[in-house]
Amino acid sequence: MDPMPKVTLIGAGSAVFARQLVTDILAVDGLDAGVFALVDIDAGRLDLARRIVERLVELSGKAWRVDASTERLDVLANTDYVINSIEVAGLKNVRFDYDIPMRYGVDQCIGDTIGPGGIFKALRTGPAWLDIVSDVQRIAPKAAILNYTNPMSILTLAALRTVDLPVVGLCHSVQGTSRQLADYLGIDYADMTWECAGINHNAWFTKLELAGEDLYPRLRDRARLPEIYEQDPVRFEVMLDLGAFVTESSGHFSEYVPYFRKRPDLIQRYTRAGYLGESGFYANNWPRWRRENDESIEAMLRGDKPVPLARSLEYGADIIEAIECGRSASIHGNVLNNGSIDNLPEGCVEVECRVDRDGIKAQHFGALPEQLAALNRAHMAVHELVVDALIERDRQKAKYALMLDPLTAAVCSVDEIDRLFEEMWNAERESLSAFG
């Protein structure tokens, strides 16, 4: 019998994201029919998503049905896959997430997964997310949950701790960075073999080889060439000093560690424009990007712009194809560390997972080099405290998490962190009503 899955996209109003995932699923050979159920609490953005998904189905020539509702309970029944891409009160708070920490000297580039911005995004998003996964458990108990919303590690761990369903967090940093590395090395990607593990945005390429040859000596030599180094300064510094290349971009990764953003002279030395570390890059640009993305979708619908139909490197469709069509796949997913990485605690880790008709199975990696595991453990402690704060509705645990955040702690005293937290809480109080 041909597979006819039901895929529910929650937060489908992030229409560019929904467009790409639907494009990927429609590109799977053999997935010729099914249901896309689109959910968003913003009726206008939901309508935009519905129209572009219907257009994609039409262009594919396949027999997928498209349902849409602002109420997830209307469409969750019989769902096989829930894809989460919600955004909770982001536009209202993106300035607070950047401007308030900046007054205390905490200089963020992206600030949506860690640091003050990431922790407060988790506090705003987490309660809604836990309501969603609870509804999925109750109404669609056979569904697999694929989370794309940041902060990835915190939200995925919160779901794993509260529902008894398969949950995996999906990012594109592993597959994207592995291809960047082949480019930096000047080799064909298909010829390179690699291993990567850690936590989201802090996973490490512990093995890079070409026909059995260790590529790290060559990469270290390449990193000393200005034209190569300048493409990724922070990541090359980390590789040269700590021994491995990390998965997240230079700008975003510079927020995860205490070395690059705690003083103006260091920011000037190590960061560059845009994703290479520009201060406030996300806060200053994300509202415009969001608006332009919506305008781009409208242009596609009018016929003023071509509709891209190429399958992306995102793992969502790979998972659905493997389970529905029996074509096994290897992905890197964010899952519970149930013995995959020997020297990290039980928390959310990013490791290779094999996927087949029986579902998603995390693979055993072994131990990370201790200096890399130590950096991961520092963030896993923050994740645990924020997850506890969400489950227990305990704002004090969220404050403890901020006190342990590596960059914030490198810049501020505990008293300053206390005041920073309270100022952000007061500014964002309207979006934190779940905490009472």
Residue type for position 238: V
Report, in this order, helix, strand and coil percent for the chain, each rounded to 5.
Answer: 50, 15, 30
- Which string of b and e fits 235-258 if b means at least 16 CB within 10 Å? bbbbbeebebbbbbbbbbbbbbbb
The predicted model gives 389-414 an average pLDDT of 98
Domain ranges of the chain: 6-92+112-170+303-308, 93-111+171-279+314-436
* Short-list 110, 103, 113, CA closest to 284: 110
Residue 436: its pLDDT value, please?
Answer: 84
Q: How far is CA 289 from CA 22, 75, 97, 201, 296, in A?
A: 21, 29, 17, 22, 10
The DSSP line for 17-79 is HHHHHHHHHHTSTT--EEEEEEE-S-HHHHHHHHHHHHHHHHHHT-EEEEEEES-GGGT-TT-
Reported confidence tier of residue 29, pLDDT bands at 50, 70, 90: very high
Topology (CATH) of 6-92+112-170+303-308: Rossmann fold (3.40.50)
pLDDT digits (tens, 9 = 90+) for 260-305: 999 999 999 999 999 999 999 999 999 999 999 999 999 999 999 9
Contact 35, 67 (CB under 8 A): yes
Q: Are 390 and 383 spatial neighbours (Cβ–Cβ below 8 Å)?
A: no
Token pair of 124 as six digits:
């705003």
Residue-level pLDDT at 14: 81
Query: Mean pLDDT throughout 48-58?
Result: 97
Task: Please tell me the total number of residues recorded for the chain in this structure.
Answer: 436
How far apart, in whole angstroms, are the C-alpha atoms of residue 231 and residue 239?
Answer: 14
In angstroms, the CA 384 to CA 215 distance is 35
**Residues near 291 by Cβ (< 8 Å), separated by ≥ 6?**
none
Does the predicted model carry a pTM greater than 0.95? yes
Q: Does 76 have pLDDT greater than 90?
A: yes
In sequence order, the 6+-apart residues with CB closer than 8 A to the CB of 101 are 107, 108, 111, 115, 116, 117, 408, 420, 424
User: What is the pLDDT at residue 17?
Assistant: 80
**Catalytic residue set:** 172
Burial of 73 (0-12, 13-18, 19+ CB in 10 A): exposed
The per-residue pLDDT of the chain, averaged, comes to 97
State both tokens at 152: 């990835």
Would you state the structure tokens that stand for residue 29, as one six-digit string? 């050979």
Contact assessment for residue 11 and residue 40, using Cβ atoms and an 8 Å cutoff: yes
Q: What is d(CA 68, CA 9) in angstroms, rounded to the nearest whole number?
A: 9
Q: What is the pLDDT of residues 296-336, one digit of tens each?
A: 999 999 999 999 999 999 999 999 999 999 999 999 999 99
Show the beta-strand stretches assigned E in 275-425: 329-336, 348-356, 359-362
CA 11 to chain centre: 14
Each as own residue / partner, the long-range contacts of residues 87-92 (CB below 8 Å, 24 or more positions apart, any chain) are 87/11, 87/14, 87/125, 87/149, 88/121, 88/124, 88/125, 88/128, 88/431, 89/124, 89/428, 89/430, 89/431, 90/121, 90/286, 91/287, 91/290, 92/430, 92/431
Report CA Rg, the chain: 21
Note the CATH number of domain 93-111+171-279+314-436. Answer: 3.90.1820.10
**Using CA atoms, how far apart are residues 318 and 24, in angstroms rounded to an integer?**
8
Look up tokens 């569904």; give the residue.
Answer: 143
pLDDT single digits (tens) 234-259: 999 999 999 999 999 999 999 999 99
Whether the Cβ atoms of residue 168 and residue 153 lie closer than 8 Å to each other: no
Distance CA 6, CA 33 (A): 9
What pLDDT was estimated at residue 1? 45
Q: How far apart are CA 318 and CA 224, in angstroms?
A: 37
Q: Count how many Cα atoms sit within 13 Å of the Cα of residue 218 in the half-sphere of its side chain.
A: 14
Q: How far apart are the first and last CA of the chain?
A: 50
**CA quadruple 220, 196, 375, 214: dihedral positive or negative?**
negative
State the greatest distance between any 2 C-alpha atoms of the chain, in Å, as a whole number.
Answer: 64
pLDDT of 377:
98
State phi, psi for 86 to the nearest 5 degrees: -75, 155
